[in-house]
Structure 1
Amino acid sequence: MCTPPHRRDVGAYVLGVLGAADAFRFEEHLEGCSRCAGGVVELGGVTAVLERYARLTPPGVDPVVRADPRLVLRAAEALAAGRRRTRRRRLAVAAAVVVLAAGTPFAVPGGERGGGRWTGADRGSGMTAVVTTGAREWGTDVGLEVAGAPDPGVCSLVAVGRDGDEETVATWSWGGVGAAPLRVRGGAALRPGAIARFEVRTAQGRPLLRLTR
């Protein structure tokens, strides 16, 4: 059950301020709560904007009280643009995330039209993934096959544009070492030709795997 304390902990979890025990309990809750998992992914975009703001702040300048106001304006504009893209994607893709049991090879219908294939593997963790894309009138249809995630929790597939823009394509709960491979379906407003790569990340935004052509 999703309670007000759980909703409150979403922001604290994304910002990394929960204690180890509280974070562990919250991750257990995430495995069965799509509402909180969605909140973690949405706030992950805010975290990315704040991290970019900190990186752009000159050395020796306090990023909170003395940074150039133009950086704050650009961060706010980036966040607003991300929310607009999310709304467009929800309207264009009725089911942005569908997690299927492992089975026959995954194929994106129409993938031959402007589509592509991205692969990635991490020898250290044993994690592997394949992304197949197909062009659509609303953007890009995306299919993901992933296996071998090192730790249990919520993961996300993120499309990174050639201009550095990012879109969360899909999210899912992972059982950790020994869990069966998964097939995930999602969509992006980015066109196939505008996508530079895909990344699998934790709910906190930590990269697990980079997928390239």
Structure 2
Amino acid sequence: MRPLEPHRDVGAYALGVLGAADTFRFEEHLAGCAHCARLLEELGSVEALLAAYARWTPPGVDPVAVPSPALLHAALDAVGGRLRARRRVRLGLLAAAAALVVGAPFAAPALLADPAVPHWTATASAPGVTATLAAAPAGFGTDVGLDVDGVSGSAVCTLVAVGRGGEEDTVATWAVRDGARVTMRGAAALAPADISRFEVRAQDGSPLATLSRSG
């Protein structure tokens, strides 16, 4: 048995290398020492990592052997390849997102002009506001094209799909600059058959236009 070194035997105790008598004496000290108890808790993760490292080390291999330069280069090449692959994926996603953003305004007029797509017209609106909407079924719900004009001043507007049960699904939000006409494309999770009406609303929630199915 050796002299007890309070606060310094935590690591040896965590690794289980203290003798039986020293372990007993340290546990007596640990019962009244919050500092050592906290250190022991922190060392628990280190012990688990060391145990895992020992399990992963092949038999006959020194756990602390220095890796060869070839192994280091191979590891660096593998990591670099993974990073380059991830970078290519990120760039591809960004390009796809940019294409959607750029293409959406041009796709909306085509959707609105398609006679095969069911159209919705404004049945109630604020003074001067006109709106036309096309809603086509899609795998995600409803593909929506909207043309709205006559919103006075500069404002933030929202297009909402209202379900037959009263549930609401936000289709798009946009800013109107100086009353300019807006044509846009959006999407609703509700299927067309489940939509009772569409509403164009001002930022404070007041209705600017209510659209119902044509015909």
**TM-score interval (norm. to shorter):** 0.3 to 0.5
**TM-score of the aligned structures, taking structure 2 as reference length:** 0.46
